[in-house]
Structure 1
Amino acid sequence: MSDLMRFSVIYVFVSFSLTAVSCQDQVTCYIREDVLLPCMSTGADLAVFWRDKNDDNILTIKQSKPDYSSQHEKFKGRVESFPDQYKKGNFSILLKKVQQSDSGSYYCRVPKMKFEQRVQVTVTGERAATSPAPGSSAHITGVTLNSLHLTLISVILFNCCST
C-alpha cells in the first residue's frame, strides 16, 4: 500500500472518528437572513434533539418525524427541517429570519449514538442594502469545512501532486 493510500485511509478514519463524538461549527449571518445549522450523524430513525444556549427546545425529531409540539415560542414558525434527509443521517435545520437575540450556541444531540454537534451562531447586524437580482431568493448562510479538514485535504493534495 502506498504512503498516499495509507494517509488517505488514516484521514478517513480520523474524520469519521471526530464526527462520531462531537464537533462545533461557526456560522456568521445578518439579521433577517436564514441560517443552516448542520447536524449529520450515522443511522436513521433516531431521536434527535435541537436546543439553544438556554436549553430551549428548537425541534425534536422522533421516528423520522419532526415534532413541534414542545417547541419554544421564540422558534415557532421559524424552523424548517428536511424529513426526506433523515434516513441519510442529515438532521440539519434552517433557522429563518434570524434576530440579534439568536446569537449563541446551538446543539443537536443524538443520545442513542452518544453524538452531539454544536453550532456557534453570530448575528452581526444588518446586511448592506443591495439590489437583488430578479427572481433571487433570500440569503442563506451555511457552514464550510473546518480548518482540520482543509489542512488534511491540502496535505493529501500536496502529497498526490508532488510524487
Structure 2
Amino acid sequence: MIKNTYIMVRSIWASLVCLLMVFIDEVSLQETVEGFIGSSAVLPCHSGNKRLQAITAHWRYKDVKNVYDILDGKGSVKEQDSAFKSRAATFPVEYMKGNFSLSLGNLRQTDAGTYCCFIPDVGHHQCTELQIKERPRGLQEQDKPSSRSNGVEAKAEKIVSLLIPFFSITILSCI
C-alpha cells in the first residue's frame, strides 16, 4: 500500500513538472521588450534554422504596418510605413546565423504594441510586445537598461528560479 502511494506521488510530480514545462514553453512564445521614449530597443527574431536558402524576412507592426523587409539577404525600405522611416534597422551580418532581429530607434509612445517577424522560407512567425515608458528622472544615458536585461535572459532567470524547487522535490522523491 505504501509502495503504491509512493509510486503514485512520484507519477503526479513527474506529470506536474511536464505540464509546467509545456506551460513555460507556451508563455515564452511571445517576448516583451521595454524601451524608453527617445532611446532604442532590439526586437528579437531567430529562425533557429542556420541553413536558409533564400534569406527573406518581414517585420510588421500590429499585422498592418510594414516596419522592415529583408528580401534575398538585403534590407528593403521600399514599402516601409512612413512612421518607421530612418528608425528601423537589422543586422545583416547575423542573417546567416538565423538572426533577423530589428533595432527600432528614437522610440515614441505610439511605437508601443505588437511587432511580428515572418520568415516565409521556414514558416517561422515570432511576435514581440514593445512597451514604451518615459525615462525615469535621474536615469542618465549610461545608466540605460540594455534590451537584454528586459528580454529573454531576464525571463530565463525567473523561470530557472521557479524550476529549481520543483526539480529538487522531484529528485528527492526519486531517492
RMSD (Å), alpha carbons: 3.5
Residue 150 of structure 2 is aligned to residue 141 of structure 1 = no
Q: CA separation in 2, counterparts of 1:90 and 1:58?
A: 17
Alignment TM-score, normalising by the size of structure 2: 0.67
The offset of 1:137, in angstroms, is 8.9
Counting helix residues as a fraction of each chain, which structure ranks higher?
Answer: 2
- Inter-partner Cα distance in structure 2 for 1:46 and 1:153: 38
Give 3-state SS (helix, strand or coil) of 1:112's partner: coil
**Cross-structure match for 1:102:** 111
Contact 1:26–1:119 (CA<8 Å) still a contact in 2? yes
Check the 8 A contact 1:106/1:120 in 2, yes or no.
Answer: yes
1:35 paired residue number: 41
| 1:57 counterpart SS class | strand
Kindly state the Cα deviation for residue 68 of structure 1 after the two structures are TM-superposed: 1.2
Classify the secondary structure of the residue corresponding to 1:113. coil
| Larger RCO, structure (CA 8 Å, separation 6 or more) | 1
After TM superposition, give the deviation of residue 85 of structure 1 in Å: 0.2
Distance 1:23 1:149, change over 3 A: farther
Identity %: 25
Structure 1: where are the runs of 5+ without partners? 1-10
Total equivalences in the alignment:
145
User: TM-score by structure 1 length?
Assistant: 0.71
1:23 matched residue in structure 2: 29
- Rg comparison, structure with higher value: 2
